[in-house]
Chains A and B, each alone.
Chain A
Amino acid sequence: GAVVSQHPSWVICKSGTSVKIECRSLDFQATTMFWYRQFPKQSLMLMATSNEGSKATYEQGVEKDKFLINHASLTLSTLTVTSAHPEDSSFYICSARDGREGWAYGYTFGSGTRLTVV
């Protein structure tokens, strides 16, 4: 089956620093990846959609200059939280769409990254 690896699983950083989160599709090519954010006791909220080789599409209210997304290859997308502040502390989850013909399962999720900004 499709596997998505997300790293790191947790990170603690100081306010004002930047943090990079990686999302890799291990056994399939992911032309499209999605980044979600989840606050405690809330559902997943889509932040942005990234397509390999092109600019990411951000959801309304998500600052593109703060949450930098790079999808430089068919197996890797990165999310960089720049100048992190305590309110950015959250659970970040990536998802990769397996575009193989007939693969209706479609979306595989990473295990998530717990970001704590102190």
Chain B
Amino acid sequence: DAKTTQPTSMDCAEGRAANLPCNHSTISGNEYVYWYRQIHSQGPQYIIHGLKNNETNEMASLIITEDRKSSTLILPHATLRDTAVYYCIVRAINAGGTSYGKLTFGQGTILTVHP
């Protein structure tokens, strides 16, 4: 799997947008970008994933650069409950559309949302 690089930590004011970057310059054509987050003492929670188009769901937006070498997770209106470690993971999906193999976690970005 392609290696990802994320900043160690970021701060964000409550109500503002949180933009979390991720570099994945060695990503290959069949690899998706996944984002998970882990709130303290809980299991990771799926946020969003994408291949090359920008994606949006009820939690966040994912912006992937045209060359797919980097992406940004956007939390449009951060709240105190969004304080967590955010993990960017690159993972392949097979031809049937299902993911397979193991998820490897890096160090992630510690996002702190303050009042």
- A109 lies within 8 A of B44 (CB): yes
Tell me the complex Cα distance, A7–B41, Å: 14
- B108 lies within 8 A of A99 (CB): no
- B44 lies within 8 A of A102 (CB): no
Residue of B nearest to A4 (CB): B43
- B107 lies within 8 A of A100 (CB): no
Tell me the complex Cα distance, A114–B100, Å: 27
Question: What range describes how many residues of A lie at the interface?
Answer: 20 to 34
Contact flag A104-B103 (CB < 8 Å), given A6-B43, A110-B43, A112-B41:
no
A residues engaging B (CB < 8 A)?
4, 6, 34, 36, 43-46, 49, 91, 93-95, 97, 99-112, 114
Q: Name 7 extra pairs, CB < 8 A, besides A49-B102, A109-B43, A111-B43.
A: A46-B103, A91-B41, A93-B44, A95-B43, A103-B97, A109-B45, A114-B41
B residues engaging A (CB < 8 A)?
32, 34, 36, 38, 41-46, 49, 87, 91, 93, 96-100, 102-108
Query: What are 27 A-B interface contacts by the 8 Å CB criterion?
Result: A6-B43, A43-B107, A44-B38, A46-B103, A91-B41, A101-B96, A101-B97, A101-B98, A102-B96, A102-B97, A104-B49, A104-B97, A104-B98, A105-B46, A105-B49, A106-B99, A107-B99, A107-B103, A109-B36, A109-B43, A109-B44, A109-B45, A110-B43, A112-B41, A112-B42, A112-B43, A114-B41
